[in-house]
Amino acid sequence: MYLDFFHLKQHPFTLTPNPRFLFLTERHREALAHLFYGVSQDGGFVQLTGEVGTGKTTLCRCLVENAPENVDVALVLNPRQTPSELVSTLCEELGVPVPEGTCSLKALIDRLNRHLLENHARGRRTVAILDEAQDLYPETLEQVRLLTNLETESRKLLQIFLVGQPELREILKRPELRQLAQRITARYHLGPMTPGDTAGYVRHRLEVAGREDPLLTPGALRSVHRLSGGIPRLVNIVCERALLGAYGLRKDRVDRRLIRRAHREVMGLHAHGPPTRRILFWGMGAAALAALLLIWYQDPSSLLGDLIQRPTAPGGDAAAPVVSKRDVPRPSAPPARTEKRSVSTASSPDPVGPPTVEREQTSQESVPPGNFATHLERGTSGMDLETAFSILMKSWKRSLPGPRGGDPCLRIAAAGLRCLRGKGSWMRLRHIDRPVVLEFRTGPKRRYAALLGLRGPQATLGFGDVHLTISTESMDPFWLGDFILVWNAPSLSSRLLKKGMKGPDILWLRKQLDLGEGTRMEDSSHPASPVFDEALEQRVRRFQREHALLVDGMVGEKTLFELMRVTGELQGPRLSDTTRARVGKSGPRPSDHEDHRMEG
């Protein structure tokens, strides 16, 4: 209807998934990289959650379309099935031949197992993606767990991805599902888009649809994000309705007022609220007031009566409220005196014991020695970003440069290092094998710690002068996967290498790929080309698939880091080498203190 008016070739905000409109924000890239990493692992479960409309299904389809060549993927969009129906659906998606009339669960599982064994013999992996997994029947969810028991002596035959809404996380916390929850090797929660992501998302869809000039004003873009909450599906619905409104008014641009009007219409709202809602509101208020007056009338001396203003006394001052004897508080013990004291995270008879943590608290309070949650809630000293970076830099045998208070990621550039922000799992950190700064969340508060060692289920964290050895499981409720990595990035003229570029950076890239692949593809008779051509893009894509990265053919920071890790050119400490690291204020001195072992 409005395509010609706005100079569009197709509708930009349709809800039907279209690969041409795919727009990956940084969070979507992290989630997709998480899925690709899960594909490369042997067995177990991968969990991806997110609010309705955040793009989970789109990511699943993207994974199916870009899966490595040796991976077979079964995508189940409707998991509301019985165990037999689900196994039958998996067989159908994977192309497993099932004789007509076969309905026995055992017969279906036998055929599926035979197919998985044949795939394994051919060097292929099999992945099953269950979308809307929060709707799985309990008995079907149990059958899903049992499917991961299909295995050989050395590896699992089936990798299962559970994709669903936030309720899925609560479902998997049930005691009867603890066996399944223990098999989840990677988790990721996809949040809404940021204001910048929302603006980029809208512009991208309009450009793909053929619009070259801006169609939404800056104020309209801000309103789109505020009213949609950064949910892509709601962004599409509101923008589509706004375009219709602008077309009806013959406006060539969409402003803030049109966005607000479109939002009210699609959400079924009115400018001043529905009349029935206003009547209900005033009716409830009147009923509450009548109830309060009735209570006061029956017992004027009650506490409620004290809250109602008495007639003013002569002189203009309000008369003193009437207080009955039963309302007079009895004398009580004086409040405890607040004092500053040192709270030790562990007790030790050794005179050179563990360091103490200075914090303000009452004399009745103490921090239980084995409670990691208490440290986060109380804000143990040394849990700010500045201190965490200082500890991390000491593991590099360097100090954090620059004045205190500035962005640590900008300050470490003076030391020739660079930050790389990521989101992953403990498995991912073991794979990276580098000390990182972890971000913990407890309500609205954010705490930081340097991860200095990771060995099995135990991690070594640095909080100021205190070092804690704690199980990763006890940190899971507070760590959502956010980390900051410090690394020695190469000196390149651009931070993003892509097709069409040329120069010394491309020659360096070809050399690194040769080292990573273990082959020499160019010789002296055929000098390496300094152009990022189609062939080089395919090599980059192959490397990204093999290392569970986002497959886009471009060399950004994550691909660059993995390339240097594979070629052995990364410098600096490793998690596997510092599982009992000790870094004090004056530098690494093992005799300064002992590690505190905590089980939260």
> Which neighbouring-strand residues pair with 162?
47, 130
- Is residue 496 domain-resident? no
Do residue 455 and residue 541 come from a single domain?
no
Give the position of tokens 């020659």: 507
- Is residue 333 domain-resident? no
Number of neighbouring beta carbons within 10 Å of residue 566: 18
From 459, 482, 468, 476, select the one nearest 375 (Cα to Cα). Answer: 468
DSSP code string of 422-453: EE--HHHHHHH-S-EEEEEEETTEEEEEEEEE
Do residue 118 and residue 202 come from a single domain?
no
Half-sphere exposure of 503 (CA within 13 A, CB side): 8
DSSP code of residue 502: B
C-alpha span between 187 and 119 (Å, rounded):
26
Output the pLDDT for position 588. Answer: 40
Domain CATH code at residue 132:
3.40.50.300
From 495, 395, 489, select the one nearest 450 (Cα to Cα). Answer: 395
Q: For residue 250, count CB atoms less than 10 angstroms from its CB and return exposed for 0-12, middle for 13-18, buried for 19 or more.
A: exposed
C-alpha span between 210 and 17 (Å, rounded):
18
Give the position of tokens 């992953």: 424
Task: Supply the range of the domain harboring residue 480.
Answer: 362-487
Buried b (16+ CB within 10 A) or exposed e, 136-168: beeebbebbeebbebbeeeebbbbbbbbbbeeb
Do residue 51 and residue 129 come from a single domain?
yes
Element holding 72 (H helix, E strand): strand 71-76
Contact by Cβ (8 Å): 247, 7: no
Phi, then psi, of 440 in degrees rounded to 5? -105, 150
- Is residue 299 domain-resident? no
- Is residue 339 domain-resident? no
Domain CATH code at residue 208:
1.10.8
Contact by Cβ (8 Å): 400, 408: yes
C-alpha span between 218 and 254 (Å, rounded):
10
Domain CATH code at residue 431:
3.90.70.10
Give the position of tokens 């100090």: 399
Do residue 2 and residue 77 come from a single domain?
no
β-pairing, 418-423 with 479-487? Answer: antiparallel
C-alpha span between 489 and 230 (Å, rounded):
33
Do residue 92 and residue 151 come from a single domain?
yes
- Is residue 326 domain-resident? no
Buried b (16+ CB within 10 A) or exposed e, 496-518: ebeeebeeebbbbbbebbbbbee
Contact by Cβ (8 Å): 98, 108: yes
H-state helical runs in 256-334: 256-266, 275-298, 303-307
Domain CATH code at residue 556:
1.10.101.10
- Is residue 185 domain-resident? yes
- Is residue 16 domain-resident? no
From 287, 307, 329, the end of a domain falls on: 287
pTM above 0.75, yes or no: no
Do residue 200 and residue 186 come from a single domain?
no
Output the pLDDT for position 299. Answer: 56
Contact by Cβ (8 Å): 153, 96: no
For the chain, residues with pLDDT lower than 50 are 270-278, 301-370, 522-524, 579-600
Sheet of 436-442, strands arranged across: 418-423, 479-487, 436-442, 445-455, 458-463, 466-471, 596-598
From 159, 160, 27, 67, select the one nearest 545 (Cα to Cα). Answer: 67
Do residue 88 and residue 155 come from a single domain?
yes
Do residue 263 and residue 222 come from a single domain?
yes
**H helix and E strand count, the chain:** 21, 14
Do residue 264 and residue 230 come from a single domain?
yes
SS3 content of the chain, % helix, strand, coil (to 5): 40, 20, 40
Angle of helix 557-567 relative to helix 534-546, nearest 10 degrees? 70
> Which neighbouring-strand residues pair with 62?
none
Give the position of tokens 């004789």: 99
Contact by Cβ (8 Å): 71, 35: no
- Is residue 259 domain-resident? yes
3-state class (DSSP) for residue 570: coil
Contact by Cβ (8 Å): 235, 14: no
CA dihedral 505, 506, 510, 512 (to 10 degrees): 20
Q: Tell which phi-psi region holds residue 478, choosing left (phi > 0), alpha (psi between -120 and 50) or beta.
A: alpha
C-alpha span between 426 and 355 (Å, rounded):
28
Do residue 94 and residue 4 come from a single domain?
no
From 190, 212, 238, the end of a domain falls on: 190
From 143, 175, 190, the end of a domain falls on: 190
Output the pLDDT for position 17. Answer: 74
Specify the number of domains making up the chain: 4
Tally of residues, the chain? 600
Do residue 113 and residue 179 come from a single domain?
yes
Distance set, CA 447 to CA 383, 392, 399, 558 (Å): 5, 15, 21, 25
C-alpha span between 594 and 465 (Å, rounded):
10
Do residue 34 and residue 172 come from a single domain?
yes
